[in-house]
Amino acid sequence: TISEQINAIASKYSGAVLLQKVNINENFDYFNALLVNTMDEEGNFIELGGEFPLEENEHFNRLSVNTLMSDIQVPTNVYNKDPDILNGVYMSEALNDIFISNFQKDPTLTWQYFGSSTGFFRLYPGIKWTPDSNGVVSFDCRNRNWYIQAATSPKDIVIVVDVSGSMKGLKMTIAKHTINTILDTLGENDFVNVIAYTDYVRYVEPCFKGKLVQADLDNREHFKLFVEELHVKGEAKVKKAMKESFRILADVTNGQGSLCNQAIMLITDGAMEDFQSVFEEFNWPDKKVRVFTYLIGRDMTFSENVKWIACNNKGYYTHISTLADVQENVMEYLHVLSRPMVINHDHDIIWTEAYMDSVLPNTKELFKSKAHSLLLMTSVAMPVFSKKKETLSHGILLGVVGTDIPLLEVMKLAPRYKLGAHGYAFLITNNGYILAHPDLRPLYSDGKKLKPKPNYNSVDLSEAEWEDTEDSLRTAMVKGKTGTLTLDVRAAVDKGVSVFGMVLTRGHGQYMFFGNVSVEEGLHDLQQPDLTIADEWTYCETDIDPHHRKLTQLQAVVRYLTGKEPDLECDEILLQQVIFDAVVTAPLEAYWTALTLTAPGVDEGMESAFLGTRSGLMRVIRYAGSEKRVGKRFLTPVDKENLFTVDHFPIWYRLAAENKPGQFFFYVPHDDINKGAQKVIVKWIFYTNRFTRMNSDPVGGRLSILIHLCFSQDVNCYLVDNNGFTLVSKEKGDVGKFFGEIDGSVMAQLLKSGLFKRVTLYDYQVMCKNAHHHTSGAQPLLSKVELMQPCNTEYPGFMYDTSIRETNSIIKCGRCQKMFVLQQVPNSNLVMLVVQADCDCSRQYAPITLAPRECNRMKSQKIRRRPESCHAYHPHENAKDCGGACGIAVSLTLYFICLATSLALH
User: DSSP string spanning 611-630?
Assistant: EE-TTSEEEEEESS-TTT-S
The predicted-structure confidence for 571-600, as pLDDT tens digits, reads as follows 999 999 999 999 999 998 888 888 766 655
3-state helix, strand, coil in the chain (%, to 5): 35, 25, 45
Q: How confident is the model at residue 676 (pLDDT cuts 50, 70, 90)?
A: very low
Beta bridge mates, 54: none
Among residues 610, 639, 640, 605, which one has the least CA distance to residue 624? Answer: 605
Q: What is the SS3 assignment for 442?
A: coil
Average pLDDT, whole number, for the chain? 81
Range in 60-64, 308-312, 677-681, 828-832 with the lowest mean pLDDT: 677-681
pLDDT score at 4: 72
According to the 3-state scheme, what is the secondary structure of 836-886? ECCCCCCCCCCCCCCCCEECCCCCCCCCCCCCCCCCCCCCCCCCCCCECHH
| Residue partners of 107: CB distance under 8 A and separation at least 6 | 59, 543, 544, 545, 546, 549
As a whole number of angstroms, the distance between CA 435 and CA 431 comes to: 11
Among residues 346, 143, 281, 416, which one has the least CA distance to residue 870? Answer: 346
Q: How confident is the model at residue 742 (pLDDT cuts 50, 70, 90)?
A: very high
* pLDDT higher than threshold 80 for residue 254: no
User: How far lies 612's CA from each of 60, 105, 334, 635, in Å?
Assistant: 32, 36, 55, 11
Q: What is the mean pLDDT of residues 135-160?
A: 90
User: How far lies 855's CA from each of 441, 761, 763, in Å?
Assistant: 19, 12, 10
The predicted-structure confidence for 340-380, as pLDDT tens digits, reads as follows 888 887 767 888 888 876 544 344 444 454 555 567 888 99
Specify burial of residue 346 (Cβ count, 10 A radius: 0-12, 13-18, 19+): middle
Q: How confident is the model at residue 693 (pLDDT cuts 50, 70, 90)?
A: very low
As a whole number of angstroms, the distance between CA 790 and CA 764 comes to: 8
Q: Are strands 213-214 and 201-203 parallel, antiparallel or unpaired?
A: unpaired
Among residues 349, 157, 115, 164, which one has the least CA distance to residue 262? Answer: 157
Amino acid at 134: N
Range in 558-567, 683-692, 753-762, 786-795 with the lowest mean pLDDT: 683-692
Higher-confidence residue: 291 or 514?
291
Q: Phi, psi (5° rounding) for residue 570?
A: -125, 155
Q: What is the DSSP string of 472-499?
A: HHHHHHHTT--S------BEEETTTTEE
Range in 97-106, 613-622, 762-771 with the lowest mean pLDDT: 762-771
Q: Are strands 726-729 and 756-774 parallel, antiparallel or unpaired?
A: unpaired
The beta strands (E) that lie in 58-101 are given as 63-65, 71-73
Could you tell me if 193 and 211 are in contact, meaning their C-beta atoms sit under 8 angstroms apart?
yes
As a whole number of angstroms, the distance between CA 869 and CA 804 comes to: 60
Specify burial of residue 449 (Cβ count, 10 A radius: 0-12, 13-18, 19+): exposed
Q: How confident is the model at residue 19 (pLDDT cuts 50, 70, 90)?
A: low
pLDDT score at 248: 93
The percentage of residues in the chain with a pLDDT greater than 90, rounded to a whole number, is: 34
* pLDDT higher than threshold 80 for residue 252: no
Q: What is the mean pLDDT of residues 392-410?
A: 82
| Residue partners of 778: CB distance under 8 A and separation at least 6 | none
Residue 843 gets the label, from left (phi > 0), alpha (psi -120 to 50) or beta, of alpha
Q: Phi, psi (5° rounding) for residue 806?
A: -160, 155
Q: What is the SS3 assignment for 522?
A: helix
Specify burial of residue 444 (Cβ count, 10 A radius: 0-12, 13-18, 19+): middle
Domains and their CATH numbers in the chain? 1-139+358-406 (no CATH), 165-326 (3.40.50.410), 414-503 (no CATH), 519-705 (no CATH), 715-770+787-854 (no CATH)
Task: Output the CA angle 348-452-456, nearest 5 degrees.
Answer: 50
Range in 131-145, 164-178, 619-633, 853-867 with the lowest mean pLDDT: 853-867
Q: What is the mean pLDDT of residues 19-30?
A: 73
Q: How confident is the model at residue 8 (pLDDT cuts 50, 70, 90)?
A: confident
| Residue partners of 276: CB distance under 8 A and separation at least 6 | none
Q: How confident is the model at residue 681 (pLDDT cuts 50, 70, 90)?
A: very low
As a whole number of angstroms, the distance between CA 439 and CA 503 comes to: 11
Higher-confidence residue: 606 or 145?
145
pLDDT score at 639: 81
Among residues 114, 115, 120, which one has the least CA distance to residue 96? Answer: 114
